[in-house]
Structure 1
């Protein structure tokens, strides 16, 4: 991947050019990339972008690197919408703590009639999300708002999603160097038990959901039952069992607002 970035070639191009010798400048750039990777910098940070849901997303220092685990949130949300026969409707979606815009933009790429609102407390993250929306050609359906989770939103939403910080504070020091030293702390640290963000956003989201609408959030390891309890406490009912990621970890939790 690093060599492809240096040569500006995809895998097919590199195979075709397999016998070509690197120039001095190319070799120096590749060596610089390799040294950064050996020091623990993620490949996505070095390249400045990461693919999510088949979409190329630009990164910044203010955003997490989107992870394949988070695609489980998109899958669960789409499953709920299709079961409701709502995937072709002009839905109103919110993504709380949007970061790169990954979840929101993945959903908008699947839901041609939907509009979305991404929130984040970081204006730098919102600039990155906005740039990604424009790059993907869906900037006219995405609005980005600087606020704490849903505090700056109003009206009713047909779907709310979130991948909030959920790492217990005491566990931060034990994270891999790729995460601990390169992802923003504010997007990782979930407080003493990792659930602070859920305690804030779930009641906010519950008040904004239209009747029958769902909230889908990413869950950390061993947190799904506690998150379901918080949703129940906010008046939501389970929208099905938590969905597991490819490692079998319950990764997406959904609650639904009862119809009137």
Structure 2
């Protein structure tokens, strides 16, 4: 159980705009519990949180799909809405397992590897490869995924992947940046000021990386394989059209409670 927080600590966090101040106070107190310098370290963490740093980066982890995903400073913090994509990816991986095969799963634009870890937890064992262009994200992903037997590489989209994966991927999970450049300034400061812009900036309309993924995904998918791309409700028709233009049949999955939208493209089984 988390250590009991000081009510005054929760009051400071609430005054700074932390909606779940009591929970945050408990987690920060737990993070320093047992340290000889606990009071000083707690004060340091609280001051950083009051100044706007993300709670998850202060703790060094984020909760995602029932596990603690380890983070590095500046790395994209996995969002709850992305659990919808991870759940769909796990469902598709399990369908492959029911055919008597080990699913080949790629977590592209993996960040800290939250999606890959969730799929491995739910559908493992899987043959899992993860890639990101941000070296800090890859460091975090290696901490989370290598204990699961994954291969984690740094590089730009498909250029980072081992060539032997071409035409073999059953589940290609992609949480690429999709925020239009001009809208980054309107994001909460926790993201805008403390997460790598390469993980947020999707170009003029937010879909630059989606275009690149959709143009190449089919060549990497196994027959019957699927690519899953997180998008927004507003952008979903364009993301879906890009996947269709890339030779894939498409569906859209939405979860209004989590404000999640996932575009799924599938390569025909006999293709």
| TM-score, length basis structure 1 | 0.85
The whole-number CA distance in structure 2 between the counterparts of 1:85 and 1:117 is 17
Q: Is residue 149 from structure 1 mapped to residue 157 from structure 2 by the alignment? A: yes
Return the offset for 1:158: 0.8
Return the offset for 1:83: 5.2
Q: Is the 8 A contact 2:96 2:102 kept in 1?
A: no
Alignment counterpart, residue 3 of structure 1, candidates 26, 29, 45: 29
Structure 2 counterpart of 1:246: 257
- Higher RCO (CA-CA < 8 Å; seq separation 6+): 1
Return the offset for 1:209: 0.6
User: Which digits, 9 at most, give the CA deviation of each residue in 1:29-64, with x for residues without a partner?
Assistant: 222211111111111111111121112121113520
The whole-number CA distance in structure 1 between the counterparts of 2:256 and 2:99 is 23
Structure 1 counterpart of 2:192: 180
Alignment counterpart, residue 33 of structure 1, candidates 45, 53, 77: 45
RMSD in angstroms over aligned alpha carbons?
2.0
| TM-score, length basis structure 2 | 0.82
Return the offset for 1:200: 0.8
Structure 2 counterpart of 1:258: 268
Unpaired segments ≥5 residues, structure 1: 10-22
When residues 62 and 29 of structure 1 are mapped into structure 2, their CA distance, relative to the original with a 3 A threshold, is closer
- Of 166-175 and 118-127, more deviation after overlay is shown by 118-127
Return the offset for 1:78: 2.5
Return the offset for 1:85: 6.0
User: Which digits, 9 at most, give the CA deviation of each residue in 1:185-214, with x for residues without a partner?
Assistant: 000000000000100112221211111111
Return the offset for 1:221: 4.3
Q: Is the 8 A contact 1:206 1:236 kept in 2?
A: yes
Q: Is the 8 A contact 1:224 1:242 kept in 2?
A: no
The within-5 A match list for 1:54-203 is: 54-82=66-94, 86=98, 89-134=101-146, 137-138=147-148, 140=149, 142-153=150-161, 154=163, 155=166, 156-203=168-215
Q: Is the 8 A contact 2:96 2:170 kept in 1?
A: no
Unpaired segments ≥5 residues, structure 2: 1-26
The whole-number CA distance in structure 2 between the counterparts of 1:86 and 1:62 is 39
User: Which digits, 9 at most, give the CA deviation of each residue in 1:93-141, with x for residues without a partner?
Assistant: 111111101111111122223111111112332122111124xx31x2x
When the two structures are aligned, how many residues end up with a matched partner?
240
Alignment counterpart, residue 230 of structure 2, candidates 195, 211, 218: 218
Q: Is the 8 A contact 2:93 2:123 kept in 1?
A: no
The whole-number CA distance in structure 2 between the counterparts of 1:45 and 1:104 is 20
The within-5 A match list for 1:37-56 is: 37-56=49-68
Q: Is the 8 A contact 1:121 1:148 kept in 2?
A: yes
When residues 6 and 152 of structure 1 are mapped into structure 2, their CA distance, relative to the original with a 3 A threshold, is closer
Structure 2 counterpart of 1:20: none
User: Which digits, 9 at most, give the CA deviation of each residue in 1:128-173, with x for residues without a partner?
Assistant: 2111124xx31x2x11122211123332211100100010000011
The whole-number CA distance in structure 2 between the counterparts of 1:57 and 1:75 is 16
The whole-number CA distance in structure 2 between the counterparts of 1:62 and 1:41 is 10
